[in-house]
Amino acid sequence: MQAAGFRALHEGIISDHIMLSAGINLDRFFGGKGPWITPPQFREFSIDNIEKRDKFLKELKTIHNHQNLPARMYALEKEIESTGINDILVTRYNLLDDELIDSIC
């Protein structure tokens, strides 16, 4: 390691986390350029282990049913069809979308 440091709370980002920094010589640490980081848009969701995949899907369905996500999505879809789109419904859609993404992560 060549250098390390930290920033004060809320310096750089608004968060309850502290930003840490480290200067690492990648040639010495990894013996080369270091790992290539895959951009999030290229990360495919796949599970080759069928047992693990089925367990994940079962738990995900349980979460979605507990949060009543399918029924809430269907109700929102019907409301948009009957009243048309507006800012309030867009906000509700985005909140449901965020909730769905959070349940997967």
Q: What is the pLDDT of residue 25?
A: 75
> 6: part of which helix (H) or strand (E)?
strand 3-6
Flag whether 71 is in a domain.
yes
Number of domains the chain contains = 2
Mean pLDDT of 61-84: 90
Q: Tell me how far apart the alpha carbons of residues 38 and 32 are, in angstroms, rounded to a whole number.
A: 18
Amino acid at 10: H
Q: What are phi and psi of 86, to 5 degrees?
A: -150, 175
Q: What is the pLDDT of residue 27?
A: 74
Amino acid at 34: G
Cβ atoms of 48 and 32 within 8 Å: the answer is no
% residues pLDDT > 70 (the chain): 63
- 98 and 51 inside one domain: yes
Assessment of whether the complete model's pTM goes beyond 0.85 = no
pLDDT in tens, 12-50: 666 666 677 777 777 776 676 666 665 655 555 667 778
Structure tokens at 34: 């270091």
Instruction: Give the angle 94-95-97 at the CA atoms, nearest 5°.
Output: 60
Q: Tell me how far apart the alpha carbons of residues 84 and 23 are, in angstroms, rounded to a whole number.
A: 53
Mean pLDDT of 56-80: 90
- 62 and 86 inside one domain: yes
- 104 and 53 inside one domain: yes
Cβ atoms of 80 and 63 within 8 Å: the answer is no
- Domain that includes residue 52, residue range: 47-105
Mean pLDDT of 81-93: 90
User: Which residue's entry shows tokens 């909730």?
Assistant: 99
